[in-house]
Amino acid sequence: MTLNIDEQDLYSKRQTLIDTARRAFDKGLQTNAGGNLSVRLAGIDACVIKPSGVGYPECTHDNLMVVGFDGTILMGTLKPSKDKDFHLAIYRARPDVNSVVHVHSPWATGWASAKRDIPLLTVQSIEKLGHLPSIPLGENGGLQSAAQVEDVFKDKSIRGALMHNHGTIGVGSTMLKALQLCEIIEETAHIATVKEIVSQGK
């Protein structure tokens, strides 16, 4: 099968993913081999995505996968992550989205595990996120399904979401923008926690 993939675009998208994954790891947004991130390729309905079982700092040009938006594995020998289905659902529903970043960052995931919405307290968080919906767990308390995630993200105004007992999602026209939203969500959760503690001492 001949793939209509622009080699230069593929190389630069893989490098961007590697750099973004490193930044997310260095900032403590994701440890171990959890989370997932992907970036849309030009001219083809497919994305570069991290495989399952590979940590953010261990992403390389050799282990990243290319997966079609219909779920077909186009490049790569490892297993794609379970999270791939919701990444693909977002790309199918949102032509404006070129990157999806998903992390289990601890402050935000703490709020999501308490099943509480994170209040957008700062001007920046309101400006950048507008609204931060929460996605409840899936059937029988399992992970959120791709359909649940798609349902939230089909609203074009949504740029980020919390997943109960799981983590956060940021989307954007570039991978940097998608990651920055995950950073803002995490920072907002941290600020909200400090505000609650400080307010108790009043």
Sort strands 73-75 and 167-172 into parallel, antiparallel or unpaired.
Answer: unpaired
Query: Considering the complex, what minimum distance in angstroms separates the CB of residue 45 from Zn ion?
Result: 23
Dist. CA 175–CA 15, nearest whole Å? 11
State in angstroms the smallest separation of the CB of 63 from Zn ion.
Answer: 18
Shortest gap between Cβ of 142 and Zn ion (angstroms)?
12
Q: How far apart are CA 143 and CA 145, in angstroms?
A: 6
> Whose Cβ is closer to Zn ion: residue 5's or residue 168's?
168
| Per-residue DSSP letter, 51 | B
Q: Which CB, 5 or 67, lies closer to Zn ion?
A: 67
Between 5 and 111, CB nearer to Zn ion: 111
Q: d(Cα 78, Cα 51) in Å, to the nearest integer?
A: 6
**Residue 195: CB minimum distance to Zn ion, A:** 27
Interface mask toward Zn ion for 171-190; x: CB under 5 A? --------------------
Q: Say how many CA atoms lie within 13 Å of 6 toward its Cβ.
A: 11
**CB 81 to Zn ion: min, Å:** 8
What is the total count of residues that contact Zn ion (CB under 5 A)?
A: 1
Under 8 Å between Cβ of 140 and 112: no
Contact flags string 144-173 toward Zn ion, x per CB under 5 A: -----------------------x------
Which residues within the stretch 104-123 sit at the binding site for Zn ion (CB under 5 A)?
none
Q: Which amino acid is at 78?
A: L
Q: Which is nearer to Zn ion, 143 or 191 (CB)?
A: 143
Nearer to Zn ion, 119 or 138 (CB): 138
Nearest to 159 by CA among 180, 137, 187: 180
* Separation in Å, CA 129 to CA 77, 120, 159: 36, 8, 6
Q: Using CB under 5 A as the criterion, which residues of the chain lie in contact with Zn ion when the complex forms?
A: 167
